[in-house]
Amino acid sequence: MRRRDWFLAYTRFAAMVTVALYTAGHAAIGFPLLLGGAVWRLATLRPPLWQRTPLDLPLAAFGVVLALSTAVSPYRPIAVTATAITLASGIVFFGSFAWLVHRDPAVRGTLLRVWALGGPPAAVIGMIAGRWAPYRAHFPNMPMGSSAFGTTLLIGSLIALGLAYRAQGRARLFWFGCAVVTLVALLDTISRSPLAGWLVGAGYLTWRELRPHPRRLAVTLASGLAFLALAAVIIPHEAGRIRQAPAHFMQDRLQIWEISAGMVGAHPLLGTGPGTFETVFPEQKLASGERKWSAHNLWLNYTVETGLLGLLSILWVLAVAGREWVRSGRRAARAIGSPGGDPFWPAITAVVIGVLVDQCGDNTLLSVSTVSGFWLLLAFLAVPLPSLIHPRGSGEGLPIDGHGAPAAQLEEVVAAGARAKEGSW
C-alpha cells in the first residue's frame, strides 16, 4: 500500500474516532489525532492538509475579524486564548475533513453511520447519569452540560433518522431504533432548543422523503405526535418545561437578549473580543441576579464578542456553504439521472436545519468538541459529491474525475444513491 494510502487511512480513522465520540461530548480527542496527521504530512514535505473550497475567502475573512476583534478588545488576555483555540481547531478540523471528503467521497456514508452509531450508547449512559442530580440526562464530564448534550443528541438522532429513511428491511428498523433511543435521551435532557431543532429537522426530513406518498406521510406524522405525547407522560418534567417556555422566554431570554443588544451598541463593529461574554455580562444586572455565560443565541453571542463584522462574516460563510450545497444537490441529481440521487443529501440538510434552529435559542457550539461536528458539516456542504463528467487519468494509474477524486469511489457513491432510492419509501 502506498504511503499516501496509509495517510488517507489514518485521517479516515481519526475522523471516525471524532464522530464516534461526538454525541458523548468528547470529540475533542479528534483534535490531537488530526493535528498529528497534519504535522506528519508537513514533516514528509507534502502540501498542507487543506482542500481548496469556495469557503476559503469567507473563512479567511472570519479569521481576520477574530484577529482584529482580539487586537482592540479591552479583555485581550481572554480574547487571545479564545481566538487561538478557535483558529487552531477550525484549521485542523475543517482542513482535515475537507481534504478527506474530497479525496474519498465514499467516506461520507461511513462517517454518518459511525456518527449515528455513537448516539445510542451515549444516550443510555446519559439517561442513567441523569437519575441523579441534576435529574436530567447528561453525559459525565461533558463540556457545557445538558444543553450541549441535547445538541449532540439532536444531530445523532437526525442522522439516524435520515439513514433509516434510505435503508431497507432490518437495516431500516435498526436505524429507526437508533433515532428513537437518541430522541428519548434528548427529551430527558429537558432542553427545549434542541427539541425545537429536532422537530423542524425531522419534519423537513419526513416531508422530503414521504411527500410522494401522502398516506404514509400522514401516518408517520401522526405516529410521531403520538410518540411525543407518550414521552410527555413518561417524562413529565419535559412537559412542564415546555409549558413554562413562554414565561421563561419573557422573564429570562428577552432580558438577556436586551442586555446583549446593549453590549453590541457599546462595541458595534468588533465587539468585546472572542470568548469575553462570560466576563462582560456580569457587569450588567439581571433581575434574577443569575450569572450567564452566554447569550443563549449563537448569532447574538458572536455579535457581542466580534461585533457586526463578525456576524456578517459568519453569515457569509453560511450563505456560501448553503449555495454550494444546493448546487451539489442539483449536480448529483443530474449525474444519477433522478431527483434525490445523493443518498445523504436529505439527512445532512435536515441536520443543518436542526442545528441552525437550535442555536437560535442556545449557544452550545463554542467548545472544541461540539464545534468539530459543525466543521464536518461545513466540509460536507462545501465539498460536494464530484460529478463523473470528463474523466481523465492520473499519473499513478488511478482513474479520477475532473475534480481530482478517484472515479471508482464516485461510482460507489452513485451506486449507493441509486440503491437507496429504490429502497426508500
Q: What is the DSSP letter of 341?
A: -
- What CA–CA distance (Å, rounded) separates 189 from 196? 13
Distances (CA, A) of 422 to 137, 165, 167, 290, 425: 38, 11, 10, 54, 8
Predicted pLDDT at 289? 54
**pLDDT for 391:** 44
Is the CB of residue 383 less than 8 Å from the CB of residue 51? yes
| 406 DSSP 8-state letter | B
Query: Whose grid coordinates read 444543553?
Result: 147
DSSP string, 212-245: T-HHHHHHHHHHHHHHHHHHHHHSHHHHHHHHHH
Cα 254 to Cα 21: distance, rounded to the nearest angstrom: 34
Peptide bond into 384 cis (omega under 30): no
Q: What cell does 212 get? A: 410522494
Burial 278-294 (b: 16+ CB within 10 A, else e): eebbeeeeeeeeeebeb
Q: For residues 156 and 178, what is the distance between their CA atoms, to the nearest angstrom? A: 9
CA distance 102 to 53: 10
Q: Please list the pLDDT of the chain residue by residue as tens digits (425 residues).
A: 445 578 899 999 999 999 999 999 999 999 999 999 999 888 888 888 889 999 999 999 999 999 999 999 999 999 999 999 999 999 999 999 999 999 999 999 999 999 999 999 999 999 998 887 667 888 888 887 888 999 999 999 999 999 999 899 999 999 999 999 999 899 888 888 999 999 999 999 988 888 888 888 888 878 877 777 776 666 656 555 555 555 555 566 777 888 888 888 888 999 999 998 888 877 665 555 556 667 788 999 999 999 999 999 999 999 999 999 888 877 766 655 444 457 888 999 999 999 999 999 888 888 899 999 999 999 999 987 765 334 444 333 344 443 444 545 545 554 554 444 444 44
Phi and psi at residue 393, to the nearest 5° = -95, 145
Q: At what angle do helices 30-43 and 368-382 cross, to 10 degrees?
A: 60
- To which residue does cell 434528548 refer? 186
Q: What is the DSSP letter of 249?
A: I
